[in-house]
A = this chain, B = another copy of it.
Amino acid sequence: MQLLKFLPGAALLVPSVAFSQQPQHRQILQIVDQHAAHFSATSKTIWEYAELGYQETKSSALLRRELETAGFQVQSPVADEPTAFVATYGQGAPVIAILGEFDALPGLSQAASPDRSPITTGAPGHACGHNLLGSGAALAAVALKEYMQQNHVTGTLRYYGTPAEEGGDGKVYMLRAGLFRDVDVVLQWHPDSENIIENGGMLAMNSARFLFHGVAAHAAMAPERGRSALDAVMLMGSGIEFLREHIPSNSRIHYIITNGGAAPNIVPDTAELYLYARNPSLPVLGDVWNRILKIGQGAALMTETTLEVKDVGGTANVLPNDALAKVAQRNLEEVGGYRYTADEKHFAEELQKSLPPGGAGDLDSTALIQPLRPPDPNAAAASTDVGDVSWNFPTIGFETATFVPGVAAHTWQAAASAGMTIGHKGMIIAAKAIAITGADLFSDPQLVSAAKTDFQRQLKGRTYASVIPAGQTPPLDYRNK
């Protein structure tokens, strides 16, 4: 990683301030650099595994092995999730957690190439960069542990191996299993196309499969004897569309049809619609969800079918933590961004040709750190089970430029970037920022205390309640069609 001396045209952005590094930070950054190539290779291996949620057998094993080798004690499996684990170093307060994810996305197989080239058509791919996420978090943990050991820092460092972030909500069940019980502060990061602090935001989400049961009949000879489950799905879909106008416009509802009937000449006796709903606010989401349930019931009533709602999962929005955000921003600026080599620049330019008009971002922006932004409840966003963690413990997130500027997550372009040096460079920045922030937390009890105070302020007296019904077990087969 190059440090930047001169940044023309960066008036609106914050240049890196590497020159002001504290000595202990400098030590940690050096440790990270020593392990960087190794964990880049780890990330590449997981990128090649490209395992779907709750099926990350090899990816989880690889990360566990790395952490064990580095001296962590690993507990696995946990929380009834075969691929979840907790790796611990040290003891006593404070307890600082680093989150690691490693699941891939279906259908997004892609070579590390700037044009659309699936390795295996239809196979999964790391289009959200979780190969980098889990490996970068491990790199941070390993470096921080070395630093703690070398400097006799007391406290507990934990790496949480959290499966199935993409819709399987692995962290929620780990929370329920009490695995975070004694945590003081949570650090996490996510691949992105810019270097920025993620202080809260994201959308609370709920999801379910709406399975309708009807009565089959020969569709040509006796359609009047049938009660079509597909009709119910169609009418539920229409009902959802009519709902859109009459809910807060920062909501999101989207669905697919996972069972649309077996054969045209048979009135379908089962049909299924799989739906996500989201809103920045958990209570608003609750209201919207109740109305979605009514729409499903109405569709069943209209068609003389019955409705079975199969809850899949859901997450809270991410609570901000201004105390942590301030430190995180400072540290990310201290670490600074990075610049492309000529080859990387060529790769990025080629890849940007596949983006929609106006979609390409400034390639020089990878060298910059974005200023801290206030949360915008209307901003388009995704959802993450980090949200549930953030409602229970002070949490802060980093995002770094692992994707070519302008590339969105969940695209083949993201998978391509995540499999080569651009992704690796972004990952290393994240590892560094996490590691020095962890060191700050271990060395400064007031920082931990301020984080906790701000956490209570953000809660505003509200209490956390997961959208996932109590007693539900991890949906280990949610990726099987």
Contact = CB atoms under 8 A, between A and B. Distances in A.
Interface of A: 105-107, 167, 203, 207, 216, 218-228, 230-231, 233-235, 237-239, 241-250, 252-268, 271, 273-276, 278, 291, 294-295, 297-304, 356, 378, 380-383, 408-411
Nearest to A258: B260
A95 to B, nearest CB: 32
A356 B106 contact: no
Nearest to A249: B249
- A-B pairs, 9 with minimum CB distance: A257-B260, A256-B261, A298-B302, A219-B254, A241-B241, A298-B301, A298-B298, A239-B302, A244-B244
B245 A254 contact: yes
Contacts of A231: 242, 245-246
Most buried by B among A222, A247, A264, A297: A264
Contact of A408 (B222, B230, B239, B298): B222
Contacts of A207: 264
A261 B272 CA distance: 12
Contact of A257 (B223, B248, B250, B257): B257
A307 to B, nearest CB: 11
B265 A276 contact: yes
Contacts of A382: 218, 220-221, 265
Nearest to A228: B246
Nearest to A312: B264
Given A219-B276, A221-B408, A234-B237, 19 more contacts: A105-B263, A107-B262, A218-B382, A220-B276, A220-B382, A221-B381, A223-B252, A224-B245, A225-B356, A226-B246, A230-B257, A234-B234, A234-B242, A241-B241, A241-B242, A256-B264, A256-B268, A265-B276, A378-B378
Q: Tell me the number of copies of this protein.
A: 4
A222 B230 CA distance: 28
Given A221-B408, A381-B221, A256 B252 contact: no
Nearest to A410: B218
A70 to B, nearest CB: 34
7 contacts: A105-B263, A220-B380, A221-B409, A230-B256, A242-B302, A244-B244, A246-B267
Contacts of A271: 257
B203 A252 contact: no
B224 A246 contact: yes
Nearest to A218: B410
A177 B443 CA distance: 74
A210 to B, nearest CB: 11
Given A220-B203, A220-B381, A242 B303 contact: yes
B260 A245 contact: no
A107 B105 CA distance: 30
